[in-house]
Amino acid sequence: MSGASPVSLERQGDIGVITVNYPPVNALGPGVAEGIKDCLARGNTDPAIKGMILRGAGRSFIAGADIRGFGTNRPRLPLGQRVYDVLDASAKPVLAAIHGYALGGGLEIAMACHYRLALPSAKVGLPEVLIGILPGGGGTQRLPRLVGPKAALDMIVTGRHVPAREARTLGIIDELLPDNANLLEGAIAWLIRLLAVRPLPRVRDRAVKLADPDIFDAMRKSIARRARNQKAPYYCIDAVEASTVLPFDEGCRREADLFKELENSAEARALRYAFFIEREVTRLPDIPATTPVRDFTTAAVVGAGTMGGGIAMSFADSGYPVKILDATQEALDRGMQRIRDNYATSVRRGSLAEDEMQRRLARIQPVADYVDIRDCDLVIEAVFEEMDVKKPIFAKLDEVMKPGALLFSNTSALDIDQLAEMTKRPKDVAGTHFFSPANVMKLLEVVRGKASSPETLATAMAMGRKIGKLSAMAGNTDGFVANRSRAPFNTEMVILLEEGCLPEQVDKVMVDFGYPMGPFAVGDLAGLDIGYASRKRRAAENPNFRKQPIPDRLVEMGRFGQKTGAGWYHYETGDRTPHPDPDVAEIIKEVAAGLGIPRREFTDQEILQRLLFASVNEACKILEEGKAYRPSDIDVMWLHGFGFPRYRGGLFFWADGIGVRSVYNQIAAWHQQYGERWAPSRLLRELAEAGTSFREAKAAAFVP
Ligand code: T1G
pLDDT tens track for 413-438: 999 999 999 999 999 999 999 998 99
Q: List Cα–Cα distances, 421 to 162, 424, 429, 446, 480, in angstroms.
A: 48, 7, 9, 18, 18
Residue 361 and residue 342 in contact, taking contact as beta carbons nearer than 8 Å: no
Q: Which residues of 99-111 are buried (b: 16+ CB within 10 A; e: fewer)?
A: bbbbbbbbbbbbb
% the chain with pLDDT above 70: 100
Distance 68 CA to ligand 1 centre (A): 10
The yes-or-no verdict on residue 237 having pLDDT over 90 is yes
Within 10 angstroms of residue 279's Cβ, the number of other Cβ atoms is 10
Q: What is the pLDDT of residue 477?
A: 94
Residue 704 and residue 449 in contact, taking contact as beta carbons nearer than 8 Å: yes
- In 30-180, alpha helices (H): 32-45, 83-87, 105-112, 139-147, 149-158, 164-170
Residue nearest to atom 49 of ligand 1 (CA): 105
Distance 139 CA to ligand 1 centre (A): 17
- Report the C-alpha gap between 667 and 658 in whole angstroms: 13
Q: What is the pLDDT of residue 486?
A: 97
Active-site residue list = 108, 128
Q: Which atom of ligand 1 is nearest to the CA of 159?
A: 24
**Helix, strand or coil for residue 64?**
coil
Mean pLDDT, residues 81-95? 94
Distance 170 CA to ligand 1 centre (A): 24
What's the pLDDT band for 1 if we cut at 50, 70, 90?
A: very low
Q: What is the pLDDT of residue 664?
A: 98
The yes-or-no verdict on residue 672 having pLDDT over 70 is yes
Length of the chain equals 704
Residue nearest to atom 35 of ligand 1 (CA): 25
Q: What radius of gyration do the chain's Cα atoms show?
A: 28
Which tens digits make up the pLDDT trace of 594-623?
Answer: 999 999 999 999 999 999 999 999 999 999
The yes-or-no verdict on residue 483 having pLDDT over 50 is yes
The yes-or-no verdict on residue 76 having pLDDT over 90 is no
What's the pLDDT band for 77 if we cut at 50, 70, 90?
A: confident
Q: What is the pLDDT of residue 537?
A: 78
Which tens digits make up the pLDDT trace of 366-396?
Answer: 999 999 999 999 999 999 999 999 999 999 9
Residue 647 and residue 132 in contact, taking contact as beta carbons nearer than 8 Å: yes
Residue 474 and residue 448 in contact, taking contact as beta carbons nearer than 8 Å: yes
Q: Is the CB of 67 under 6 A from ligand 1?
A: yes
- Asked if omega into 582 is within 30° of 0 (cis), the reply is no
Q: Which of 67, 255, 271 to mutate to test the pocket of ligand 1 (most atoms within 8 A of CB)?
A: 67
Residue 704 and residue 448 in contact, taking contact as beta carbons nearer than 8 Å: yes
Residue nearest to atom 16 of ligand 1 (CA): 24
Mean pLDDT, residues 484-506? 97
488: which residues sit within 8 A by CB, 6+ positions away? 614, 615, 617, 618, 677
Rounded to 10 degrees, the C-alpha dihedral 189/190/191/197 comes to: 130
Q: What is the pLDDT of residue 40?
A: 98
Q: Which atom of ligand 1 is nearest to the CA of 68?
A: 2
- Asked if omega into 24 is within 30° of 0 (cis), the reply is yes
Q: What is the pLDDT of residue 545?
A: 83
The yes-or-no verdict on residue 356 having pLDDT over 50 is yes
Residue 677 and residue 617 in contact, taking contact as beta carbons nearer than 8 Å: no
Distance 172 CA to ligand 1 centre (A): 21
Q: What is the pTM of this model?
A: 0.95
Q: Is the CB of 25 under 6 A from ligand 1?
A: yes
Mean pLDDT, residues 44-73? 96
